[in-house]
Structure 1
Amino acid sequence: MIINNSLDEVKKRENALSIIKNHVETKGRSSLFDLTGLAGGFIASEAEISLLETYVGPAIFEDAIQEVGKEHMGGDKVLAVNRTSSGILATILSLVSEGSNVVHYLAELPAHPSIPRSCKLVGAEYFETDVFEEFTIPDNTSLVVVTGSTMDHKVIDEDEFRQVIEMAHAKNIPVMVDDASGARLRTVIYNQPKACDLGADISITSTDKLMAGPRGGLMAGREDLIDEIKIKVNQFGLEAQPPAVLAMVNGIKNFKEENLIKSFTKKDELYELLCENFSNFVKSPTGVMIYPEGLSKEVSVSHNLSDDDLAYVFSFILLRDYGIITIPPVSMPGASATIRFELSSSDAINLDLKDLIKKIEASFEKLQDVVSNEEKCKEIVFTF
């Protein structure tokens, strides 16, 4: 095994960032192609940057984030936090009591790890399922969670989404929606309503997913619940700081639905090209991806690596040798090892797909050359 625990995941991420830094310093930013779908960004004018002071910033940008945030997310009020995970944590700290139940429905397991980890922290019983017929709300449930779009971009069925909300509200239980990418993916590509418009009490999105915003979280929902959660956010230092809030405001203002729609059609061309030499790539809503188990089926060389380890090695070769950034090298502990080539980012807009195919194929050949040598694979993942 190459990746055995959370520390290993942190170490591989540190190595990936070193590789990215080297690319920028030696070859320039143009040598990198961020296809994670999490490219983010920081859009700001010089005049706005001059206002990024500890107290001036919030005074200036709080009204702006309320205006654009409610338009983007719905709800009565919004709250900017430093990460989606911290918003989830603050919600569970605020609304979930020790010994109570939290039940979670999503289109495909597993849930983002921040949800069960937060439940464990408060001493709550946690249950998740992706089988709608198995979803129930037991007595003493304090929170129902719905994931709008999974870590691998599988989107919830809208009818099931509505039914879960109705089931929860019939028992006077609040619903939190983890809509990290779904706030844009569900609404733009699948034409679903905003989570709050469907009746969710709290919804949270990641402001760097499928949009040019900072790594942060934006919550929306019922004003009374947002106010209650805001207390925990401020108590534990989970609030977004002025630079992030400014970047969120401008990221939302500059979000262009047509870029997502273009990626939705462009993915078909990429998928067809990949299918000429591979059998296990699948389409995502805005690109193509290969699950670790699918990558394992492509490898014809004998080896002792796990499916996830294969994905890490392959993605590090893509990054190190060709400057292609995918999620596995840079992800936080607990994230999916699925390799996605998302076409909604600014790097992908003018990307030559045939050139991308050549780099993917060359990386796969290098993977097959090293896969039987576990020490060499460890070196690729952990050593710059």
Structure 2
Amino acid sequence: MTVTLDEIKKREKGLSIINKKIQSTGIDSLIDLTGLAGGFDVTPGDISLLETYAGPAVFDERIQKLGIEHLGGSKVLPLNRTTSGIAATIITLVKPHTTIVHYLPKKPGHPSIPRTAKLVNANYVEYSSLDEFMVDDNTSLVFITGTTMDHEVIDVDEFKKVIQIAKDNDLLVFVDDASGARVRRAVYNQPTAIDLGADLSVTSTDKMMEGPRGGLMAGSAELINRIKLTVNEYGWEAQAPLVAAMVKALEKYSPDDIRDAFIQKDELYDKLVAKNLNPLKTPTGFMFKEDEIKLQLEKMGLVCDVPSDIIATVYSMILLENYNVITIPAVGMPGASKTIRLDWSAKDSSKLSMDELVDAIYNTFAECKDVIENNQIDDVLYG
């Protein structure tokens, strides 16, 4: 997806709605079900250490122990974004005119990979079928996505097979395990990417855990040290406050919350179906892809030629404005998926009952239809 100024303006509108709600009813009135709520849980004692040299001296040692336990490997590297780790790895390991090969459960992959490939003048190819997957003498790096942006999880046998093909061809394997480091492992009981044979793995410290928006990469000390040089060169390292919050998130993380949501999501799904809605199950909740949102509105009598991604964003804005429920299209970074995904493992799910959530989802469809029919899209997205 091409990021445009229009995308930025929509996000600014979503954030302005949130700000107004915080000012009027307080932050506890918001219900963040994105699965990206994150957290910045630091104590007064931690804050006293958030200095240029004291922070790294204390927190780097703790993040190494906890990060290796979480991801495997022999060394971890805290980053200011997962994207930073992906970009730094490609810059470090990929030569111009070679090919990055990416295997994932369903296309497309995260845009940071092809964008950085273009930056270093490398080719980029995606596969989502083992029958089609291939590498050749010009391949420089193999990427695997453990769990897609819409929480579709790679089959562990496919995971192993792709790694084996890469190893048979003496290729390094990098796993984009942004949410997969939790979803794959907690729900599907899969090993860490490193234990499956990958050379490098990166995860987002705010996805499915109460950590800050940042990244954590794991691998061998030799590879991590090489990539760390690039990270430092570009200023992509996580500063002491981020690392402190990552430490707290890893200390607090429990897979039980994700497993409980995995069980409860079936009840939630049944309630939505009873309302004649057609969601897709995710490991810890449900989602409506943008085409499905438009199709649902057409079933309700809507006739329009508005693109489905715009409709999904309108839906997300209404859900936020009228019901305080935060979903990604209203506030996600430009270029993010327009799927309405609701994560029942999010800590804010305790703020409402299943029936209250189902009613909000159902009512928003009718309200979205009215907005489109009354030509109020611009008011909702930018007004």
In 1, Cα distance between equivalents of 2:153 and 2:182: 11
SS in 1 for 2:274: coil
The aligned residue for residue 360 of structure 2 is 359
Give the aligned partner of residue 56 of structure 2.
58
Tell whether the 8 Å contact from 1:15 to 1:382 is kept in structure 2 after alignment.
Answer: yes
Confirm whether residue 378 of structure 1 aligns to residue 382 of structure 2: no
Q: 1:143 corresponds to which residue?
A: 141
2:227 counterpart of 1:229: yes
One-letter amino acid of the structure 1 residue matched with residue 99 of structure 2:
N
2:350 corresponds in structure 1 to 349
Identity %: 50
Aligned to 1:21: 19
One-letter amino acid of the structure 1 residue matched with residue 345 of structure 2: S
Out of 151, 171, 174, the position equivalent to 1:173 is 171
TM-score by length of structure 1 reads 0.97
The equivalent residue for 2:196 is: 198
Which residue of 146, 151, 156 corresponds with 1:158? 156
CA distance, structure 1, for counterparts of residue 144 and residue 161 of structure 2 = 11
Q: How far is 1:65 from its partner?
A: 0.3
Alpha-carbon contact 2:11-2:334 (below 8 Å) kept: no
* Structure 2 unaligned regions, length at least 5: none
Structure 2 distance, partners of 1:271, 1:96, is: 44
Deviation, 1:361, is 1.8
Partners of 1:90 and 1:229 within 8 A in 2: yes
Say whether the 8 Å CA contact 1:280–1:297 is kept in structure 2: no
Deviations 1:334-363 (A, max 9, x none): 211110110111101353111111211221
Q: Using the alignment, how far apart are the partners of 2:338 and 2:129 within structure 1?
A: 23
- Report the residue type matching 1:18 in the other structure: S
Return the offset for 1:373.
4.2
Give the equivalent residue in structure 1 for 2:70.
Answer: 72
Distance 2:113 2:126 in 1: 10
Aligned mate of 2:207, from 206, 209, 219: 209
Shift in Å, 1:265 = 1.3
Q: Distance in 2 between matches of 1:23 and 1:153?
A: 29
Aligned to 2:261: 263
Supply the distance in 2 between the matched residues of 1:360 and 1:141 (Cα, whole angstroms): 45
Shift of residue 333 of structure 1? 2.1
CA contact (8 A) 1:280 1:295 kept: no
Q: Number of paired residues? A: 380
Residues 1:121 and 2:119 aligned together: yes
Alignment match, 2:308? 307
1:99-143 Cα shifts (integer Å, max 9, x gaps): 001000000011010111010100000000112211100221110
TM-score by length of 2: 0.97
Amino acid in structure 2 at the alignment position of 1:382: Y
User: Which amino acid is 1:363 matched to?
Assistant: T
Q: Which moved more, 1:16-25 or 1:341-350?
A: 341-350
Matches of 1:294 and 1:352, distance apart in 2: 24
Distance between the aligned counterparts of 1:167 and 1:80, measured in 2? 29
CA distance in 2, matches of 1:309, 1:249: 38
CA distance in 2, matches of 1:368, 1:202: 46
Q: Which moved more, 1:231-240 or 1:13-22?
A: 13-22
Q: Matched residues in 2 for 1:102 and 1:126: separation? A: 5
- The offset of 1:5, in angstroms, is 4.4
1:293–1:307 contact (8 Å) kept in structure 2: yes
- Conservation of the 8 A alpha-carbon contact between 1:149 and 1:181: yes
Contact 1:102-1:142 within 8 A present in 2 as well: yes
Q: Distance in 2 between matches of 1:285 and 1:172?
A: 34
Question: Partners in 2 of 1:180 and 1:4 — Cα distance?
Answer: 21
Give the Å deviation of 1:277: 1.9
The AA in structure 2 aligned to 1:365 is A
| In structure 2, C-alpha distance between the alignment counterparts of 1:277 and 1:297, rounded to whole Å | 15
* Counterpart position of 1:30: 28
